[in-house]
Amino acid sequence: MISQTINRAFNILKLEKNTYEEISKDRSSIYGSGVTIFIAALVNVYLFKHFIQPTLPNKIPLMAIFLIWIFFNWYVFSNIMLKIVKLFGGSRNLENKKIAYSLIGFSNTAEILKILIIFFPNFVVIISWSILMLVIASQVVGIKQIYNLDKVTSAVGVVIASYVAQFFIISFLVVILIKLAY
């Protein structure tokens, strides 16, 4: 299973569309997806601890950052994306949430590459944006393949709409938490 997960992760980085078909047909791909998202979360939390937390006036518990990152980048985003795929006319795999979790988990493989920021801190912006573009590209390819969308533009629309919806959900939750704090 570990070698299969590593192989799939590398194929996702290469944007091989057959890998997404393989993921959608393999019921156990959710576990490899979980490992991938877990490692990506660890990398992001480490970078948060190393680069961002020292600049904050208060310490934020790293376990909270880790759990929130996984929750929003895996669970929430997968469910939002699945609902939006239905609106854009996806024609298969719409009822199986595990496929959505597998797709989003593996699409975050590129997030692991953020470890390069440690070695090249002067290129933090370039590395971060490049990795974000790779994550988005892998999500577009995966959505088109797995949900059988007619056009690439529809898959791009699904990804953009999913990120916008997630932004509004997070903003709404932040506003509520701020209001509750006062």
pLDDT tens-digit readout, 56-68: 988 999 999 999 9
> Which residue is associated with the tokens 């988005």?
136
CB crowding 161-175: b at 16 or more within 10 Å, else e = bbbebbeeeeeeeee
Instruction: List, as one string, the DSSP characters of the chain.
Output: -HHHHHHHHHHHHTT-HHHHHHHHH-TTHHHHHHHHHHHHHHHHHHHIIIIIGGGSSS---HHHHHHHHHIIIIIIHHHHHHHHHHHTT--SS-S-HHHHHHHHHHHGGGGGGGGHHHH-GGGHHHHHHHHHHHHHHHHHHHHHHHTT-S-HHHHHHHHHHHHHHHHHHHHHHHHHHHHHH-
Q: With a cut of 80, say whether residue 148 has pLDDT above it.
A: yes
Query: What was the pLDDT predicted at 2?
Result: 85
Q: Residue 167 has which token pair?
A: 């932004």
pLDDT value at position 72? Answer: 97
* Tens of pLDDT, residues 17-44: 899 999 999 989 999 999 999 999 999 9
> How much is the pLDDT for 90?
85
